[in-house]
Each structure stands twice: as structure tokens, then as C-alpha cells.
Structure 1
């Protein structure tokens, strides 16, 4: 219960810090300095990633196929398991070094992993539509310390020649999506809501972070 109170207090402080500003102390001050954002002090003990089997997989090679999971860079197989490995790798990288403060277990549940089809990848490009819920738990009891929170980590996807050039540099969809998810989860744990939104542009109707 004490741990829950600490987590709640930290997150509440982070939520209000973004709109807080100090009062001007003197008449001569021309502009008040903005408040420095607070940072959570968390010790992430473990990471658990779940990809529900209820998420629908699409293998249709269209610009924007239906389904919750669209993934083509691994060979045909268990797409749920492939996505789980990618997200686990990303989350593990993202929490690296977060080992000081309140002990927590990070619980991630994938809600959408919609990368580019072959057709979109080599023509128009589009958007990697990435969504997951994040919950912090007590590492000892598993009890939830926070409510599940939906995180959107959409990432602009390359198309055509830009996609081919990126692959030559080693910037595959998997690499870029992994880096994006790692960046987003780290930002969310340190300062909730602070991660930059993806610049999706006019291609937001299709389904990674521009390099």
C-alpha cells in the first residue's frame, strides 16, 4: 500500500508539472522561467509483454489491410510470437538503466501492430500504427500500481526509393520500429506524455520515425 501511494504521488506530480510555472518574484523580470519537468525515479525490475491471440492478423497485400497485426519482415509464421519478440526487445532496451527509485514491474499489452505491407512499402509508404497499454505493477505481488494507459507510438513509414535506401543502411522496419518503441516507453516512464508525436503527414491513411 505504501508503494502504491508513492507511485500515485509521483505520477500526479508529473501530470501537473507540465502546466505549472513559478510566479514572477520581481516587477523587473521580463518573462518567468518555465518550470523544469519532473522525472520519475523508477527501478524497473521486469518487463512482461503480452500479444493477445484475439488480435486479428492480416496477410493481405493491400495499401491498408484490415486486422490488428500486419507484419511482413519475418518469414511466414506465428505473427503474434514475432511481434511479441520485437516489442520485448524494444521494451527491454527502453528501460535499460532505470534502476533507481521505486521498484516496479512493467506490464505491456499490445493493442495494435500495423506495419507496412509490401505494396505500401515499395510505393507510397505510410504509417506504422503502434499502440499498447502500459501498467506498472508491484514486482513482489503483481498488484497494479497504476491504471492501464493506452500509449500511441505511431511512426512514419518509408516508401519507394526511400525505403530501399533505408534498408541498405540497415534501417529496416524492424530496426526503426524497435528504436521507436524503446524511445517511447523510456519517455513515458521518465515523464509521462512527453514523447514526441509522430509526424504522419498526408499519408496517415496508410500503414515508422524518420531517419
Structure 2
């Protein structure tokens, strides 16, 4: 029952994935088989390990141990693509080109108190995996996920719904919504 409720909440959040800063999704017939991902970060992105309420940076991520934050974010996108590869099974094999523009999560201080928003902005291009031809030109996607704080965040952690679990599930649904 708890799992069903969690999935229903996730679906409700996913219905509002694309934010107002997103480019419109092209109207077209899609029959993709998701095969691969090329992930890069925009050069010069600023990473912050500051534990303030809202660090002035492009990348703020605390769902993994301290380390190469861009690589950690890339791994989450890779997981989201791999999960969708078993679901998005159509006629045209495609490769996604993802260019990270912003990945602003919440710090320990924010998660421990008021919560906030995971603000994830990226450019996405869909290419034919066989020829490399662009099927859908680069478009900006802004996806925002509510980040609970305080007791609510602690309860999610105890239930195994860590920041990383929440964000990977969100990225999985965001990409699926953009590709189906």
C-alpha cells in the first residue's frame, strides 16, 4: 500500500515535470527505441559544496558522497535512460544528447529544515542512432521537483526514498514524458 501511494505521488509530480522555462515539446509521431546517451555539462558550470540555504552555483548536489558532481549527475541520467530503454520500444533507435545547464538541489541545511526545489535544466537533442541525423533539434527542458525538508525528508530517508532515489525516479519520468 505504501509503495502504491508513493508511486501515485510520483506520477502526480511527473505530470508537472516540465517547467515554464522549457521549450515546447514538438508535436510529432514518436516511435523511438531508446538506445544510448551522450551526456555533457556546459563548460564553466560552478559547483558548490557550501552548506548554506541557497548557494549561488549552477550545481548543488548532496545525494552522493562528496566527489565529482558532474559525473554523479551524469550517472543519474544514465540510469534514467537505462530504465527507459526497457519501456520505450518503438521503430526508430535513438540516441539522446543531453547538455546539463543547471542542477541545483538542496543542501544539508535546507533539506534538514525548510526543503526546497531540485531545479534541473538541460538541453536535449534526439538523434537517429543509426545515422546520427537529428530527429528532434536541441530544446531546453526545465524540470523542477519539490524537495521536502525537516521531518518529511527524514521520513522519506527512513523509508528508503533518498535524495538520489527521488531524483533518479524523477529524471526517468521526465525523459519518458519527453520521448513518448
Give the TM interval when normalised to the shorter protein. 0.7 to 0.9
Name the structure with the higher strand share. Answer: 2
Tell me the SS of whatever aligns to 1:113.
Answer: strand
Report the aligned-residue RMSD. Answer: 1.7
Give aligned pairs, total: 156
After TM superposition, the score normalised by the length of structure 2 is 0.80
2:36 is the alignment partner of 1:46: yes
- 1:196 maps to what in 2? none
Gaps of 5+ in 1: 1-10, 15-38, 191-211
Partner Cα distance (1:78, 1:183) in 2: 25
- 2:103 maps to what in 1? 113
Partner Cα distance (2:133, 2:30) in 1: 19
- Structure with bigger gyration radius: 1
2:97 is the alignment partner of 1:74: no
Is this contact kept in 2: 1:95–1:186, CA < 8 A?
A: no
Gaps of 5+ in 2: 1-24
My pick for the range that moved more, 151-160 or 72-81, is: 72-81
**Residues 118 and 166 of structure 1, relative CA distance in 2, 3 Å threshold:** same
Higher RCO (Cα < 8 Å, 6 or more apart): 2
2:77 is the alignment partner of 1:87: yes
Deviation string, structure 1 residues 125-174 (Cα, Å, up to 9, x no partner): 00011111110112133232221011111100010000000000011111
My pick for the range that moved more, 60-69 or 48-57, is: 48-57
**Residues 100 and 113 of structure 1, relative CA distance in 2, 3 Å threshold:** same
Structure 2 counterpart of 1:156, from 125, 133, 146: 146
Is this contact kept in 2: 1:94–1:181, CA < 8 A?
A: no
